[in-house]
Amino acid sequence: MRSRDGNHSFTLRLCTIILLSSLALNAGEYLISYKYIVKNNVLFNESLDISKSMQKCKGIPAQTLILPATKQKNFIQLVSHHYNEFIDYIHRLSLDIRSKDTTTNNQINSTTIIILKTTCFKVDFNDNFVKISHLKQPYN
Protein backbone atom coordinates (compact mmCIF):
# COMPACT_ATOMS: atom_id res chain seq x y z
CA MET A 1 0.00 0.00 0.00
CA ARG A 2 1.31 3.42 -0.89
CA SER A 3 1.48 6.24 1.62
CA ARG A 4 0.16 9.73 0.85
CA ASP A 5 3.62 11.19 0.26
CA GLY A 6 4.63 8.33 -2.07
CA ASN A 7 7.48 6.94 0.10
CA HIS A 8 6.35 3.34 -0.04
CA SER A 9 9.51 2.03 -1.78
CA PHE A 10 11.78 3.88 0.69
CA THR A 11 9.94 2.35 3.65
CA LEU A 12 10.24 -1.10 2.10
CA ARG A 13 13.99 -0.64 1.51
CA LEU A 14 14.48 0.63 5.07
CA CYS A 15 12.68 -2.41 6.53
CA THR A 16 14.74 -4.71 4.33
CA ILE A 17 18.00 -3.08 5.46
CA ILE A 18 17.03 -3.38 9.12
CA LEU A 19 16.06 -7.05 8.69
CA LEU A 20 19.22 -7.94 6.78
CA SER A 21 21.49 -6.11 9.23
CA SER A 22 19.94 -7.96 12.18
CA LEU A 23 20.44 -11.27 10.36
CA ALA A 24 24.01 -10.35 9.44
CA LEU A 25 24.87 -9.56 13.04
CA ASN A 26 23.35 -12.91 14.01
CA ALA A 27 22.28 -11.58 17.38
CA GLY A 28 19.51 -13.10 19.39
CA GLU A 29 17.91 -13.26 22.77
CA TYR A 30 17.43 -16.54 24.58
CA LEU A 31 15.53 -17.59 27.68
CA ILE A 32 17.59 -19.89 29.88
CA SER A 33 16.68 -21.77 33.04
CA TYR A 34 18.88 -24.08 35.07
CA LYS A 35 18.22 -26.55 37.88
CA TYR A 36 20.77 -28.59 39.83
CA ILE A 37 19.64 -31.11 42.47
CA VAL A 38 21.93 -32.85 44.96
CA LYS A 39 20.61 -35.56 47.28
CA ASN A 40 22.83 -36.90 50.06
CA ASN A 41 25.93 -35.33 48.49
CA VAL A 42 25.34 -37.05 45.14
CA LEU A 43 24.25 -35.28 41.97
CA PHE A 44 20.67 -36.36 41.39
CA ASN A 45 19.57 -34.21 38.45
CA GLU A 46 20.87 -31.33 36.35
CA SER A 47 18.81 -29.62 33.68
CA LEU A 48 19.59 -26.70 31.40
CA ASP A 49 16.74 -25.39 29.25
CA ILE A 50 17.42 -22.96 26.40
CA SER A 51 14.83 -21.47 24.07
CA LYS A 52 14.81 -18.58 21.64
CA SER A 53 12.89 -15.61 22.98
CA MET A 54 9.70 -14.84 21.08
CA GLN A 55 9.61 -11.23 22.30
CA LYS A 56 12.26 -8.59 22.82
CA CYS A 57 13.71 -8.81 26.32
CA LYS A 58 14.05 -5.67 28.39
CA GLY A 59 17.09 -5.19 30.56
CA ILE A 60 20.63 -3.96 30.90
CA PRO A 61 23.55 -6.27 30.02
CA ALA A 62 25.13 -7.04 33.41
CA GLN A 63 27.63 -9.88 33.27
CA THR A 64 29.25 -11.06 30.05
CA LEU A 65 30.84 -14.30 28.92
CA ILE A 66 32.98 -14.40 25.79
CA LEU A 67 33.52 -17.75 24.08
CA PRO A 68 35.46 -18.58 20.92
CA ALA A 69 33.19 -18.93 17.90
CA THR A 70 32.49 -22.28 16.30
CA LYS A 71 31.78 -22.95 12.63
CA GLN A 72 28.04 -23.12 13.14
CA LYS A 73 26.08 -20.12 14.39
CA ASN A 74 23.77 -22.16 16.61
CA PHE A 75 23.66 -21.11 20.28
CA ILE A 76 22.57 -24.50 21.65
CA GLN A 77 25.44 -26.28 19.88
CA LEU A 78 27.85 -23.62 21.15
CA VAL A 79 26.69 -24.17 24.74
CA SER A 80 27.02 -27.93 24.41
CA HIS A 81 30.55 -27.48 23.05
CA HIS A 82 31.56 -25.11 25.92
CA TYR A 83 29.26 -26.62 28.56
CA ASN A 84 31.57 -26.36 31.62
CA GLU A 85 32.49 -22.72 30.93
CA PHE A 86 28.83 -21.82 30.45
CA ILE A 87 27.74 -23.58 33.65
CA ASP A 88 30.49 -21.79 35.61
CA TYR A 89 29.18 -18.51 34.17
CA ILE A 90 25.62 -19.35 35.25
CA HIS A 91 26.82 -20.22 38.75
CA ARG A 92 28.23 -16.68 39.10
CA LEU A 93 24.76 -15.22 38.51
CA SER A 94 22.21 -14.81 41.26
CA LEU A 95 20.84 -18.28 41.94
CA ASP A 96 18.09 -19.42 44.26
CA ILE A 97 19.30 -22.10 46.71
CA ARG A 98 16.90 -24.33 48.61
CA SER A 99 18.08 -26.83 51.16
CA LYS A 100 16.19 -29.44 53.20
CA ASP A 101 17.59 -31.81 55.84
CA THR A 102 15.59 -34.58 57.50
CA THR A 103 16.55 -37.19 60.08
CA THR A 104 14.82 -40.56 60.20
CA ASN A 105 16.06 -43.38 62.47
CA ASN A 106 19.42 -41.62 62.95
CA GLN A 107 19.87 -41.38 59.17
CA ILE A 108 20.30 -37.90 57.73
CA ASN A 109 18.83 -37.14 54.31
CA SER A 110 19.73 -33.85 52.69
CA THR A 111 18.53 -32.25 49.49
CA THR A 112 19.94 -29.11 47.93
CA ILE A 113 18.39 -27.48 44.88
CA ILE A 114 20.10 -24.68 42.95
CA ILE A 115 17.82 -22.82 40.54
CA LEU A 116 18.33 -20.12 37.94
CA LYS A 117 14.83 -18.89 37.21
CA THR A 118 14.02 -18.29 33.56
CA THR A 119 16.27 -15.40 32.60
CA CYS A 120 16.90 -13.57 29.35
CA PHE A 121 20.36 -13.55 27.76
CA LYS A 122 21.54 -11.60 24.74
CA VAL A 123 23.83 -13.53 22.39
CA ASP A 124 25.96 -11.81 19.71
CA PHE A 125 27.83 -13.95 17.18
CA ASN A 126 30.93 -12.37 15.64
CA ASP A 127 33.58 -13.86 13.37
CA ASN A 128 36.00 -14.88 16.15
CA PHE A 129 33.94 -14.94 19.34
CA VAL A 130 30.46 -15.12 20.83
CA LYS A 131 29.39 -12.61 23.46
CA ILE A 132 26.75 -13.82 25.95
CA SER A 133 25.27 -11.16 28.24
CA HIS A 134 22.89 -11.65 31.14
CA LEU A 135 20.11 -9.05 30.87
CA LYS A 136 19.42 -7.65 34.31
CA GLN A 137 16.06 -6.04 34.99
CA PRO A 138 16.40 -2.40 36.06
CA TYR A 139 14.86 -1.48 39.40
CA ASN A 140 12.17 1.19 39.25
> Within a domain: residue 3?
no
Cβ-contact 57, 120 below 8 angstroms: yes
Answer yes or no: is pLDDT of 12 > 60: no
Average pLDDT, the chain: 80
N residues, the chain: 140
Quick check: 14 pLDDT over 80?
Answer: no
Identity (one letter) of the amino acid at 115? I
Whether pTM exceeds 0.85? no
4 falls within a domain: no
| Contact between residue 37 and residue 115 where contact means Cβ atoms under 8 Å apart | no
CA distances from 20 to 17, 54, 103, 128, 132 (A): 5, 19, 61, 20, 21
Number of separate domains in the chain: 1
What integer pLDDT is reported at residue 131 of this predicted model?
93
Contact criterion met (CB below 8 Å) for 72 and 82: no
User: What is the distance, to the nearest Å, from the Cα of residue 104 to the centroid of all Cα atoms in its chain?
Assistant: 40
What is the percent of the chain where pLDDT is above 90?
39
| Domain around 117 | 27-136
The answer as to whether 1 is a domain residue is no
Q: pLDDT of 30-73, one tens digit each?
A: 999 999 999 998 999 999 999 999 988 888 888 899 998 877 77
> Is 50 part of any domain?
yes
Query: Within a domain: residue 126?
Result: yes
Higher pLDDT, 63 or 11: 63
Is 5 a member of any domain? Answer: no
